[in-house]
Amino acid sequence: MNALRQLPNSAPVLLLCVVLGCVAGAFVEPVGAAAYALGQVYISLVTMAAVPLLVVAMFFGLRQLLALPRPGLRIGTMLMVAIALVGLCGAAGTIAGALAAPGLHLSAAAHEHLGRLILTSGGNAGEVRMTLFAQGAQPAADGIFALNDLVPDNFFGALANGRALGILTCTILFGMAFAALSSEQTKVLNGIFESIYRALEALIGYANLLLPVLVFGTAAHWVAHTPREIVSAMSGFIEVFLVMAGVFSCVALAAIAMRTRVSFIRALACLRAPMLVGFTSGTATAAIPHTIEAMSAKLGCSRGVAELVVPFGAVFVRAGSALYFALVTTFVANLYAHSLDVADYAIIGAAATLAAFASAGRNGAGGIAAAGMALSLLRLPAEAALVLFVAIDLLCDGPRNVLSLLSTCTVVALVSAGLQAERAPVSAQAVSPDGDSALVRLAFTRAQLALVAGCALVAASLIVIMGIGVGAR
């Protein structure tokens, strides 16, 4: 069973699933469709467990963090560093878009194909339906930030509708009140929360066994349903985004290694499992248990800080999305030959940062729709242009999640500065004060174990026979 649990954390296994999925999507589409459907079951299971896990983990994180020295300063540092990292990625995406200019030098054939796709995306004759006076309308459209998303008037409604930002706000407020109570008042509730926490961790761990199936099915689905012309026409955008996401991920890993006083290779090895899960699962919440364990037990950061920041960062620290939205806006502007000056680039950087926070808790098409905030400020056609990015979202979703995850880990490492390391000991062997080993370990080969088992079986048989003989007399 332990070997089976290591499969989702194995890069060669997941790479093999990608290759086999591409082959299945090209030649055996029904097999890929069945795997893709099973992968959606995995996403549903993880999403189902992620929301209560987020709530319970933040309860424990707030309680432990408020017991640490200078909790107010650490919470303020966490917020400021998170905002700064997201803003930095938005600014970097804007600079990269200005220098690389994706979408500016497309061929006539690529322009024609992308234009045809945009025109045909609106359905019958491109009609747009509009409801006047907003009777019965929702407070906000998908992907657009609203105050009700941040401060919901009904916590259970936020839970039922999956509004992660509102759930996060209610959790923080309730968690602060929970942490203010004495340990005697919360003793029973602590035990209940601990059991729920471990049960949800186990559920996500078992669900992650389906991760290779999801990778196989997603690769097959992408190959079978994504036109090659779109990927070819948008190859410049994809290359710039992947390079920038890789560079910033390496910078975040270097910062984590420096703050935790380990080598870059060691930090990469410790964070390999959450990075693989975040890259391949398509959701930022599936890697929460792996990330908390890696940052606390393996890299020595405070577990209380990790349990608070990691769930918070999975919803709020969208550094990868800020980078992506800045490049999306630049690409669309170049695609429509919209000239950009310094003021426009400043607007793009700021709008991409705001759009990243506005997309909190949303994945897929709902998250991409937040890029319309930046596009609308430049008077660019948001709805039609975003059709292009929905088509390539599966390619960009993994690097986007990894960059956001590593940014969250950077926040954990910075906020944990000055606290006692909680790194698990390399060896579990106990040593006496005199320097001699107080624990003797016996190691046996399989042959030796088989011999011992055989001898024990023979001895037991002799005892049974002797008992039978004595009873017969």
pLDDT at position 29: 83
Per-residue pLDDT 10s for the chain (473 aa) are 566 666 666 778 888 888 888 888 888 888 888 888 888 888 778 777 777 777 787 777 777 777 777 777 888 888 898 899 999 999 999 999 899 888 777 777 777 777 777 776 654 434 444 444 444 444 444 444 456 666 777 766 776 666 666 777 777 777 777 767 777 777 777 788 778 888 887 887 788 788 888 888 888 888 887 777 777 878 888 899 999 999 999 999 999 999 988 999 999 989 988 888 888 877 777 788 888 888 988 888 888 888 888 888 887 888 998 999 999 889 888 888 888 889 989 999 999 998 888 777 666 666 677 777 778 888 887 766 677 777 788 788 889 999 999 999 999 998 887 677 767 665 444 444 444 444 445 555 666 566 666 666 656 665 655 555 555 55
- Rounded Cα distance between 105 and 102, Å, is 7
Tokens of 257: 């290694």
- Rounded Cα distance between 359 and 374, Å, is 12
pLDDT at position 305: 85
Quickly count: other Cβ atoms within 10 Å of residue 131's Cβ.
8
pLDDT at position 385: 65
pLDDT at position 450: 65
pLDDT at position 278: 84
Q: What is the separation of C-alpha 63 from the centre of its chain, rounded to a whole number of angstroms?
A: 24
Show Cβ contacts of residue 416 under 8 Å, excluding neighbours closer than 6 positions. 259, 301, 302, 305, 306
- Rounded Cα distance between 383 and 394, Å, is 19
Q: How much of the chain is helix, strand and coil, in % rounded to 5? A: 75, 0, 25
Would you list the DSSP string of 155-222? HHHHHHHT-HHHHHHHHHHHHHHHHHS-TTTTHHHHHHHHHHHHHHHHHHHHHGGGHHHHHHHHHHHH
pLDDT at position 233: 79
pLDDT at position 363: 64
| Whole-number Cα distances in Å, 83 to 122, 153, 223, 350 | 36, 26, 36, 12
- Counting every residue written for the chain, the total comes to 473
Instruction: Find, among 315, 321, 263, the residue nearest to 285 by Cα.
Output: 315
pLDDT at position 334: 86
